[in-house]
Amino acid sequence: MTGPEACRYYSAEGPADEAPDLPLRSFYEIDHADDAVTRAVDILPDGRVIRDSLALERRNGDDCPSLIDTPLAEFLADAPLVEIDRAAFEAEWARGEDQPFWFP
């Protein structure tokens, strides 16, 4: 990982028809140099804010190159992302509770 200075930050709205298990909004920290989503925050319909990171996924020595399981270019092409600044991402990150997805 090349560090937060190399990252860009994005927000995406969830699906228009609210689903109980899908986020209303998601926020992403993307390291384009490493081709990886390094941190993510989801705001869920029940009001919970959960977050995940590569550091959290790797805490037990598991190999997790990215928080998404598709190539970054494919993810970016399919997701309606809006670029945001780092401060906006960090504000959402601070609200979240750790919840690893790949290696709970």
Q: At 104, which amino acid appears? A: P
pLDDT at residue 9 in the model: 97
pLDDT at residue 86 in the model: 97
Strands 7-13 and 25-31: antiparallel
Smallest CA-to-CA distance from 45 within 81, 76, 11, 15 is with 15
pLDDT at residue 1 in the model: 47
Q: Rounded to whole angstroms, how far apart are CA atoms 93 and 18?
A: 22
Q: At 29, which amino acid appears? A: E
Q: What is the mean pLDDT of each run of 10 residues along the chain (104 residues)?
A: 77 78 92 94 94 97 94 85 96 97 92
- In the chain, where the domains are located: 4-14+21-96
- Distance set, CA 50 to CA 5, 34, 53, 60, 76 (Å): 23, 24, 11, 20, 21
Residues with Cβ < 8 Å from 75, sequence gap 6 or more? 37, 68
